[in-house]
A and B are shown apart, each in its own frame.
Chain A
Amino acid sequence: RKEVEQDPGPFNVPEGATVAFNCTYSNSASQSFFWYRQDCRKEPKLLMSVYSSGNEDGRFTAQLNRASQYISLLIRDSKLSDSATYLCVVLTDNYGQNFVFGPGTRLSVLP
């Protein structure tokens, strides 16, 4: 079983739609959680951290369920510019030694 699993997609949604991505992780000792965004043929960039209490950044909402070892990302009012691959990332220690990346979920927002 992979350490971090995501539905690869693609998710094809119209502009303005709400879309949700899920991610599961296997290591119950995981410390920190993040969503990164990767545009085609570009480097990944941090989108947002994920906190136990849930957190929101504009149209983006991230949730963590430690009991179920499950992370989610919700995007409201999708824009064409949201088209990208979204990577779920789990940090298994706080010294930066082990960032484990999921394979990514591809999103295409259509006009």
Chain B
Amino acid sequence: EAQVTQNPRYLITVTGKKLTVTCSQNMNHEYMSWYRQDPGLGLRQIYYSMNVEVTDKGDVPEGYKVSRKEKRNFPLILESPSPNQTSLYFCASLLTSGGNTGELFFGEGSRLTVL
């Protein structure tokens, strides 16, 4: 089954404790992206990757890191989480070769609470 898998789905942590949210897709998509969703603000892009070893900042990259060592994986790293990073996080992938259909495939989301 074609899917984007995120882990963990739910996490409560404390300020300053490094954490990683993993994202994996099995559709051989070139493009992957991380978003955070907060009430009233919609989804905002954190980082994106056009392909392996190619990453770039989105609209709200502060406090986050990413890497794209393999095509299928795009982990999101919070080196020193703070309470303002409490949010619902979505990973998404997109097939860009052969034309962009605009159909982002999203993971089920990771709800992060930083105390």
Contact B50 A32, beta carbon cutoff 8 Å: no
Partner pick for B107 among A43, A94, A102, CB 8 A cutoff: A43
CB of B98 closer than 8 Å to a CB of A:
no
Q: How many residues of A contact B (CB 8 A)?
A: 25
Per-residue B-contact encoding for A37-50, CB less than 8 Å = 1, 0 else: 00001111110010
Interface of B is mostly: strand
Chain A: which residue is nearest B30 at the CB level? A96
CB of B84 closer than 8 Å to a CB of A:
no
Chain A: which residue is nearest B33 at the CB level? A99
CB of B43 closer than 8 Å to a CB of A:
yes
Contact B43 A95, beta carbon cutoff 8 Å: no
Contacts known (A43-B107, A91-B102); A96 close to B50, Cβ less than 8 A: yes
How far does the alpha carbon of A86 sit from the alpha carbon of B39 in the complex, in Å?
A: 14
User: B residues within 8 A CB of A8?
Assistant: 40
CB of B34 closer than 8 Å to a CB of A:
no
| Residues 31-61 (chain B) with a chain A CB within 8 angstroms | 31, 33, 35, 40-45, 48, 50, 56
